[in-house]
Amino acid sequence: MYVSSVSQSEIRLTLEVTVDIANALSAGNLDPRRVLDEAGFSRAADASEASVQRVTSRMKDLLPLLHDLPSSDAEAITDRVNTELKRLPISPAVVDHDGIGPHIHWTPTSATFDDQVITDILMALAQELCDNGTDRFGSCDATDCDDLFYDGTRNRSKRFCSDPRCANRTHTADHRARLKEAT
């Protein structure tokens, strides 16, 4: 059985967790170990506290790039992603473990956890830039929210971040405005 080196679902999952981390960092309520463990980063549960803190610090450094995704063209973001990638110990290898099937690990097994996480994020972002540019990144349409989202829908119709309150508030306000207009 052949398994794609980097599937679209892996890219989507990595980009969704990336914007979730960015939003949590911006709000000041990030638990990086839990978020990464739940997203399937296999080393998250056992990573040292220092390495997890380095993930947080490095994600903070990426926040300006991530927040620019919805309003920038792919060329500008590509240059910035390439600059970040040059700083990383990337050494791709095809591996097969844990019954997953053949897939690519971007970093050597000796890489620190934070290098692995940042590399996975940047490689997913690089693949997305190649496939779709920055079109699938957006900012929440809710009036009082600036959170990012990644739109993995087929018709690219997503308008709100992952906080369901944003969509609910907006839809409720729209409904009330229509009722008021009808009277």
Residue 136 lies in a domain: yes
What domain range is 33 assigned to? 8-182
Assess whether pLDDT exceeds 80 at residue 70.
Answer: yes
Q: What is the CATH number of the domain that holds 71?
A: 1.10.3300.10
CA distances from 8 to 22, 117, 128 (A): 21, 18, 9
Residue 26 lies in a domain: yes
Residue 1 lies in a domain: no
> Which residues touch 117 (CB under 8 Å, ≥6 apart)?
36, 41, 55, 58
Residue 75 lies in a domain: yes
Output the pTM of the full model. Answer: 0.86
Residue 56 lies in a domain: yes
* Total number of domains constituting the chain: 1
Q: What is the band of 162 on the pLDDT scale with cuts at 50, 70, 90? A: confident
* Model pLDDT for residues 126-152, shown as the tens digit of each residue: 999 999 999 999 999 999 999 999 999
* Model pLDDT for residues 97-117, shown as the tens digit of each residue: 778 788 888 999 899 999 999
Residue 79 lies in a domain: yes
Residue 3 lies in a domain: no
